[in-house]
């Protein structure tokens, strides 16, 4: 259960989030939609604990605990996962080695046993196959030379392996053609579970045809200005952000 | 109390050596010592030593601490073990590959090295090479006959443990490796501990079609003061493959002075240096393209933490006749602290017109975006930093073809990161 209460966030001294409140119960899929510059990525980075995103007010409660003072790795270990809008390319770190390090690090932070080499390989191969990720991609340096679709599938693979309680998908659809989008959405849908919630962040309604949300929130000017069911997305599609937001105000 | 290394002490030692030397060696000593006396121990007023003031470093007091590292053990190698600058035969096995103690070779009246040593790629005005020539005592000579490939590497293992009693004039070690036509060999050079002052000169004579692989590892303790030079001449179609790893020291300098002396000669150096605390690490190279159609490549990667200082001076010389030279150099540095410093000085002296010469230098910090990405996946900060540092260096380390050596190099880098990568996790 994620409860964001009256969150204020400064980025480089400028207030970007101005009293954002939001609750995502376990098992639900919530979407945050909003125009460019509304603060969507700011929300996702703040939840993940990125340096430079200074919380000046409010709190982020995750299963009853305020996580605003925790490091990114501690939040990850608690089950918060951010699928990046622009996944980093990291030359010199193989995808396989990265996955292993991440899985073992989280196991360690949670006081769980690490996977042995054989278990790890089996788990990764099975998950990769489902997402149509080749053995070759796993051997390559992390995201280096990957297409947009490959990067997003790789993010989905990480999510599948790390089994978060909350997955934040920041513009999962950006840079994807329709086939790639379907593949990624399918991967995400398979991960839906009663104890896992999703925060799907997007500018366009298109993604929500494939990942169908329980609730849609509209973010504008650093706040949630409106929440509703999935029909809200259609309204936005038809009338545009300005009309819908003005009506709400 | 150790005596300070001074010009007077050094010249007195030279005079003593001169009086005992065989005539051929005496002539060599005279020429070298005359030049050395003229310049003395190089200080910052000598252009090539501007960023590495040896005279000053030798006057500073150093705190000798126990060295955490033990010298690497390379399985299946012939070893020449130098303990505190003295070749220890009971710990060595170099005879098996036909190498000889320099001390013995120098004592001979008609020494087989008489026409070779000091003449492979002469550096008449180099203060330290002259000093080394004038005072060389210990070392090793390896000659690989025509067409022979040495199956096992030669491990030159320099270890400085305990207090070095010879500090009045330092220790001056000399290695001579001669590869005859078509010969192939691998040199593995390791430096551990803390010499109070050492010079090491390695002369490499590569005849046509020969190939030398040279892996050097400087794992000094913090108090080490050493200046070393690899001086080589590479003949027609011969190849030099160098990999250098260094952690620096109180004063640690290595120069690669290579002459591409025959057509299609090729030199390649990949280097990784990791320097922390107040250490100093100087990498200086001179690639001297003397004839047409030769190639040289050098890629230096450094990671600097604490208030360390790295120096990279890369000089490429292309003689007028040396058309079609292809010379590349690249220096990349990663600064883990705001107090660390990298000095990069590329120099091009090109007298031919049809050449390809490139040089590039970058200096930057650890990528904050990449660091956040790794941490967001649950990888703790220190470990994430270590991963990114290793990723930065791995390309260099991967060039070490011999698996056992590559593992040793990677382990050295890993140990360094365990000690220092996390230390940079707070903003300095
Ligand atoms: N690193 C930054 N430096 C300065 N301003 C930033 C930075 N990142 C975001 N902003 C500003 O914060 C606001 C919200 O940005 P962002 O959260 O990326 O919006 P969205 O993801 O909804 O398009 C924008 O006005 C943007 O200009
Ligand atoms: Mg965004």
Residues B275-301 pLDDT 10s:
999 999 999 999 999 999 999 999 999
Which token pair is A198? 């999703």
pLDDT interval class at B164 (50, 70, 90): low
Distance of CA A108 to the CA centre of its chain: 23
Q: Is A213 in the pocket of ligand 1 (CB under 6 A)?
A: no
CA-based nearest residue to B195, from B138, B130, B258: B138
User: What region, left, alpha or beta, does residue B211 occupy, with left being phi > 0 and alpha being psi -120 to 50 degrees?
Assistant: beta
Answer whether A37 contacts ligand 1 (Cβ < 6 A). Answer: yes
Tell me the pairing of strands B78-83 and B86-87: antiparallel
Q: Does residue B63 have a pLDDT over 90?
A: no
- CA gap A225, B331 in Å, rounded: 52
Q: Are A206 and A237 in contact (CB under 8 A)?
A: no
Helix, strand, or coil here: B72? coil
Query: Shortest CB distance from A82 goes to which of B374, B376, B388?
Result: B376
Q: With a 6 A CB cut-off, is A42 part of the ligand 1 pocket?
A: yes
pLDDT for position B15? 93
Extract the tokens encoding B5: 């290394």
Tokens of B44: 């910052």
CATH classification (class only), A2-248: alpha beta
Which residue owns the Cα nearest ligand 1 atom 24? A37
Which helix (H) or strand (E) segment holds residue B364: the answer is strand B356-364
How many Cα atoms are found within 13 Å in the side-chain-facing hemisphere of B15? 7
Q: What is the dihedral angle through the alpha carbons of A186, A146, A47, A33, rounded to the nearest 10 degrees?
A: -60
- pLDDT per residue over A168-179, tens digit each? 999 999 888 898
Mean pLDDT, rounded, for B186-201: 96
Q: Tell me, what's the pLDDT at B427?
A: 38
In whole angstroms, what is the distance from residue B6 CA to residue A233 CA? 82
Q: Across the A/B interface, how many CB contacts are shorter than 8 Å? A: 74
Contact assessment for residue B248 and residue B310, using Cβ atoms and an 8 Å cutoff = yes
Backbone φ and ψ of A209, nearest 5°: -70, -25
Residues 380-419 on B with a CB inside 8 Å of A are: 380-381, 383-384, 387-388, 390-395
Contact: A93, B383; criterion CB under 8 Å: no
- Contact of A31 with A233, CB cutoff 8 Å: yes
Q: Which residues of A8-40 are buried (b: 16+ CB within 10 A; e: fewer)?
A: bbbbeeeebbbebebebeeebbbbbbbbeebbb
Q: Is A72 within 8 Å of B376 when comparing Cβ atoms?
A: yes
> In which element (H, E) is residue B412 found?
helix B403-420
Q: Indicate yes or no: CB of B373 within 8 angstroms of CB of A88.
A: yes
- pLDDT, residue B425, reads 44
Q: How far is B393 from chain A (nearest CA, A)?
A: 8
Chain A contact present for B377, CB below 8 A: yes
Best mutation site among A41, A54, A223 for ligand 1 pocket (most ligand atoms within 8 Å of CB)? A41
What's the rounded Cα separation, in Å, for the pair A161 and A96?
A: 12
Ranges of beta strands (E only) in B30-98 are 78-83, 86-87
To the nearest whole percent, how much of chain B has pLDDT over 90? 87
Which residues in chain B have their CB less than 8 angstroms from residue A158's CB? 377
**Exposed, middle or buried by CB within 10 Å (0-12, 13-18, 19+), for A56?**
exposed
pLDDT for residue B217: 98
Pocket test for ligand 1, best of A8, A9, A10, A11 (most atoms within 8 A of CB): A11
Q: Which of B336, B337, B330 is nearest to B395 (CA)?
A: B330
Place B420 in a pLDDT band, splitting at 50, 70 and 90.
confident
Q: Does residue B313 carry a pLDDT above 90?
A: yes
Residue B424 has pLDDT above 60, yes or no: no
A-chain CB neighbours of B417 within 8 Å are none
Residue nearest to atom 13 of ligand 1 (CA): A37
CA B391 to chain centroid, in Å, comes to: 24
| A72 contacts in chain B (CB < 8 Å) | 372, 375-376
What residues in chain A have per-residue pLDDT under 70?
A: 248-249
Q: What is the mean pLDDT of the segment spanning B166-186?
A: 91
pLDDT one-digit tens code per residue, B213-270: 999 999 999 999 999 999 999 999 999 999 999 999 999 999 999 999 999 999 999 9
In A, minimum Cα distance to B385 occurs at A93
Which positions in chain B touch A87 (Cβ < 8 Å)?
373
Give the closest-approach CA distance of B236 to chain A in angstroms.
Answer: 35
> Which of B177, B123, B121, B125 is CA-nearest to residue B290?
B121
Instruction: Extract the tokens encoding A154.
Output: 């790789």
**How are beta strands B100-101 and B138-144 bridged, if at all?**
antiparallel
DSSP string for B222-243: TT-EEEEEEEEEE-TT-EEEEE
Rounded CA separation A130/A145 (Å): 21
Is A16 touching ligand 1 by the criterion CB < 6 Å? yes
Which of A106-115, B140-149, B371-380 has the lowest average pLDDT?
A106-115
Residue B426's pLDDT is what? 39
CA of A168 to the centre of ligand 2 (A): 12
Q: Which residue of A72, A91, A109 is the best one to mutate when testing the B interface, meaning the one whose CB has the most B CBs within 10 A? A: A72
B113 and B176 Cβ atoms separated by less than 8 Å: yes
Q: Which of B14, B61, B418 is nearest to B251 (CA)?
A: B61
pLDDT band at B162 (very low <50, low <70, confident <90, very high): low
Residues of chain B neighbouring A82 (CB-CB closer than 8 A)? 376
Coil, strand, or helix at residue A7? strand
Return the residue of B nearest to A100 by Cα.
B379
- Reported in sequence order, the residue ranges of B118-210 that DSSP labels E, i.e. its strands, are 138-144, 154-160, 171-179, 184-193, 198-206
Average the pLDDT over each of B149-163, B387-401, B410-424 and give the range with the smallest value. Answer: B410-424
Mean pLDDT of B332-357: 96
Protein residues within 5 Å, CB atom, of ion ligand 2? A 40-41
Domain regions of chain B by residue span? 7-366
Structure token digits, residue B214: 């040279």
* Residue to mutate (ligand 1; options A42, A46, A221; most atoms within 8 A of CB): A42
* Cα A35 to averaged position of ligand 2 atoms, centre (Å): 9
Q: What is the pTM of this model?
A: 0.89
Please tell me the distance from the alpha carbon of residue A53 to that of residue A15, in angstroms, as a whole number: 10
**pLDDT at B198 > cutoff 50:** yes
**Owner of token pair 């443990």:** B161
Residue A77 contacts B, CB cutoff 8 Å: yes
CA angle A52, A56, A58 (to 5 degrees): 120
Strand order in the sheet with B225-234: B100-101, B138-144, B171-179, B198-206, B225-234, B251-260, B280-289, B309-318, B341-350
Beta-bridged to residue B303, according to DSSP, are B274, B334
């Amino acid at each position: 259960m994620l409860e964001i209460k009256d969150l204020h966030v400064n980025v480089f001294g400028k207030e970007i989030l101005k009293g954002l409140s939001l609750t995502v119960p376990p098992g639900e899929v919530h979407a945050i939609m909003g125009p460019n510059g509304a603060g969507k990525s700011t929300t996702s980075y703040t939840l993940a604990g990125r340096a430079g995103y200074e919380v000046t007010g409010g709190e982020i409660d995750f299963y009853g605990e305020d996580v605003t003072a925790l490091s990114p790795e501690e939040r990850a270990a608690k089950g918060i996962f951010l699928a990046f809008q622009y996944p980093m390319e990291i030359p010199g770190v193989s995808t396989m080695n990265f996955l292993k390090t991440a899985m073992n690090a989280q196991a360690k932070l949670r006081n769980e046993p690490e996977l042995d080499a054989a278990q790890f390989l089996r788990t990764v191969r099975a998950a990769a196959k489902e997402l149509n990720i080749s053995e070759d991609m796993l051997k390559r340096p992390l995201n280096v030379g990957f297409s947009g679709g490959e990067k997003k599938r790789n993010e989905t693979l990480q999510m599948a392996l790390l089994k978060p309680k909350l997955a934040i998908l920041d513009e999962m659809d950006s840079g994807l053609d329709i086939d790639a989008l379907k593949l990624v959405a399918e991967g995400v849908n398979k991960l839906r579970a009663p104890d896992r919630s999703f925060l799907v962040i997007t500018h366009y309604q298109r993604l929500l045809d494939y990942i169908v949300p329980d609730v849609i929130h509209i973010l504008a000017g650093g706040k949630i200005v409106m929440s509703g069911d999935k029909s809200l997305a259609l309204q936005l599609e038809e009338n545009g952000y300005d009309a819908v937001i003005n009506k709400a105000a | 109390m150790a005596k300070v290394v001074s010009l007077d002490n050094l010249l007195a030692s030279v005079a003593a050596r001169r009086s005992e030397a065989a005539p051929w060696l005496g002539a060599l000593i005279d020429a070298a010592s005359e030049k050395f006396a003229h310049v003395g121990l190089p200080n910052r007023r000598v252009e090539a030593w501007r960023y590495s003031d040896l005279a000053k470093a030798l006057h500073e007091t150093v705190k000798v601490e126990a060295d955490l590292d033990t010298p690497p053990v390379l399985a299946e190698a012939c070893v020449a073990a130098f303990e505190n600058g003295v070749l220890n035969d009971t710990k060595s096995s170099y005879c098996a590959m036909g190498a000889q103690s320099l001390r013995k070779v120098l004592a001979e009246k008609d020494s087989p090295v008489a026409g070779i040593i000091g003449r492979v790629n002469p550096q008449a005005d180099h203060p330290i090479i002259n000093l080394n020539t004038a005072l060389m005592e210990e070392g090793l000579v390896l000659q690989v006959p025509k067409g022979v490939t040495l199956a096992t590497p030669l491990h030159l293992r320099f270890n400085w443990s305990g207090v070095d009693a010879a500090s009045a004039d330092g220790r001056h070690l000399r290695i001579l490796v001669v590869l005859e036509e078509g010969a192939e060999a691998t040199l593995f050079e390791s430096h551990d501990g803390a010499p109070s002052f050492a010079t090491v000169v390695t002369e490499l004579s590569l005849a046509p079609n020969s190939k030398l692989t040279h892996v050097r590892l400087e794992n000094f303790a913090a108090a080490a003061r050493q200046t070393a030079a690899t001086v080589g001449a590479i003949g027609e179609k011969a190849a030099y493959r160098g990999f250098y790893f260094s952690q620096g020291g109180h004063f640690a300098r290595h120069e690669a002075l290579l002459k591409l002396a025959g057509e299609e000669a090729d030199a390649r150096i990949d280097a990784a240096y990791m320097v922390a605390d107040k250490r100093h690490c100087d990498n200086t190279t001179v690639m001297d393209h003397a004839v047409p159609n030769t190639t040289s490549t050098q890629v230096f990667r450094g990671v600097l933490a604490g208030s360390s200082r790295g120096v990279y001076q890369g000089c490429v010389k292309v003689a007028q006749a040396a058309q079609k030279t292809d010379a590349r150099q690249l220096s990349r540095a990663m600064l883990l602290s705001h107090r660390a410093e990298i000095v990069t000085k590329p120099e091009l002296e090109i007298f031919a017109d049809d050449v390809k010469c490139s040089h590039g230098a970058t200096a930057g910090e650890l990528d904050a975006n990449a660091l956040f990405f790794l941490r967001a996946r649950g990888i703790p900060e220190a470990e994430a930093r270590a991963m990114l540092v290793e990723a930065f260096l791995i390309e260099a380390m991967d060039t070490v073809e011999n698996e056992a050596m590559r593992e040793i190099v990677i382990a050295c880098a890993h140990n360094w990161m365990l000690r220092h990568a996390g230390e940079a996790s707070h903003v300095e």
